[in-house]
Amino acid sequence: MKEFDTLIIGSGIAGLSFALKAAEQGTVALVTKQRLADSNTAWAQGGIACVVSPEDSFDLHIRDTLVAGAGLCDEEAVRTVVTEGPARIAELIALGVHFDERAATNGSRELDLGREGGHSKRRVLHAHDATGREVERALVERVVAHPGITVMENHMAVDFLTTGKLGFAMQDSCVGCYVLDCTTGSVELIRSDVNVLASGGCGKVYLYTTNPDIATGDGVAMAWRAGAVIANMEFVQFHPTCLYHPEVRSFLISEAVRGEGAVLLDANGKRFMENHHPLRELAPRDIVARAIDSEMKRSGANCVYLDISFKPADFVTSRFPTIHEKCLSLGLDMTRSPIPVVPAAHYQCGGVKTDLNGETSLRGLYAIGEAASTGLHGANRLASNSLLEALVFAERAAQKAGRHRKPRQEFTLPEWRPGLVTDVDEMVVIYHNWSEIRRLMWNYVGIVRTEKRLQRAATRLRNLHAEVQEFYWNFKVTRDLLELRNLVTVASLIVDCALSRRESRGLHFILDHPEPDNSHPPRDTTFRRT
């Protein structure tokens, strides 16, 4: 048994930030499925929304967030993130993150702020169109150099250990975790009283997503199995503009492109967003994604087009070098012609329910970043608010854990017992189930839903869950098997939450109830394993 003061699962902006803070108070283990730098954060293009300009204000940023959240944001959470954000941005800059700058009117340098959908002001800090990669770089360098942080790459968390499941007569608490060494296949036991989920989202539960392959909802599934409350999983954000190309299925075309003036065109080359919202291309993401979905269904086209070719070529290539280079490698020149795009699953607005300090309903378990449901996003995330949320809650959770840190209690925890299991003899069955879940979710639980489709999805997922459980108990655990187990759990939670919300609001649009319920709308749809 390995013992640490803090165990962190995930190495994105939330996990890395928490690790640096927790390491000042004790020993830290940081578990990550692949390399340390592999995370959703590293794929983030647009930037970090924060009030840093004298032309902006906290009240405006709060208002924009509340409007995007369609009435379901926790206003206290919104105010906390917005007002504490500037201090966290200053910390990032002090750690070596380089945001783009421009010449100010007085000849000095100032931050170059972008604008994205739903924002009333320019407030998005960015590093060209690879902001997440720049943030990840700076944080990884600090984590690797810190002597108090043990990095466990190519390790995957399996399940939490809780005092309730172990039969201890005390308040149910999270006291450690089983962790698979993906290289050797052995399962290790890690003991900790502070356990932090920073494992990101679940984009891979859908057939088309902008997320990397690691985004399989592991943290939410683990927290649910441990008995923590899960909230608002019906609110899955579909990014309006994912590159449509047969060779590349998960390349994001940043919202910042629309923020700099790009327009959406139908198959006939005509703009259509003015028919859907007064802000046109700069409407909130849920509205733009549904508008594109509607246009594609109306015309039968496979995609729509995003056009910024009317802007000067040197501006486009300098502002969006990553997107330009990727498109060019596929024979698409965005400085000369429109980019074919479609919506794709992008961000999990729900997750493990937390308070304003990142604490979950299970003592000893914290959740931060995309894995958490803090109340900030409501029914729809405002563009570029997610990285700011991760920074603010990493700070608040680290402070709370530090204030309440006590001498580690001594427990005799059971080592992993594999039992009489064998190697998976037919991997094709796992891959088939993986594919079936993702296609089922895309077809039945996508941008526009119906109760009939959701019920069909729920029925099939129950059967798949039983099949996957049989695999889990009869075969040696592997990363593929664990991810499949987590995917079917998260898919079921999304469907159950969607069936529970009998209204259309934000990212959840259901034809059986096409209008919001303004009489008594539930702010949270919650589930807890009994």
Buried-state track 163-187, b at ≥16 Cβ within 10 A, e below 16: bbeeeeeeebbbbbbbbbebeeeeb
Nearest alpha carbon to residue 371 among 183, 199, 243, 143:
199
Residue 285 is a catalytic residue: yes
Sign of CA dihedral 220, 222, 224, 226: negative
Q: Where are the beta strands (DSSP E) in 280-434?
A: 304-307, 339-348, 351-353, 365-367, 372-373
- Of 115, 285, 449, 505, which is the active-site residue? 285
Nearest alpha carbon to residue 72 among 520, 527, 528:
520
User: Number of H helices and number of E strands within the chain?
Assistant: 15, 22
Nearest alpha carbon to residue 232 among 371, 361, 345, 357:
371
**Residues 397-401: contacts with CB under 8 Å, at least 24 apart:** 397/18, 397/196, 397/357, 397/358, 397/359, 397/366, 397/368, 398/17, 398/18, 398/21, 398/22, 399/21, 399/357, 400/357, 400/358, 400/359, 400/366, 401/6, 401/22, 401/194, 401/196, 401/366
Cα distances (angstroms) measured from residue 160 to each of 130, 178, 225: 34, 6, 8
Count of other CB atoms within 10 angstroms of residue 133? 17
d(CA 328, CA 312): 17
Please give, one letter per residue, the 3-state secondary structure of 121-189: CCCEECCCCCHHHHHHHHHHHHHHHCCCEEEECCEEEEEEEEHHHHCCCCCCEEEEEEEEECCCCCEEE
Count CA atoms closer than 13 A to 216's CA, side-chain side: 23
* Torsion-angle region of 201 (φ positive above 0: left; ψ -120 to 50: alpha; else: beta): beta
The answer to whether 390 touches 89, Cβ cutoff 8 Å, is no
d(CA 43, CA 33): 16
Cα distances (angstroms) measured from residue 259 to each of 231, 382, 458: 31, 13, 38
Amino acid, res. 17: S
Active site residues: 285
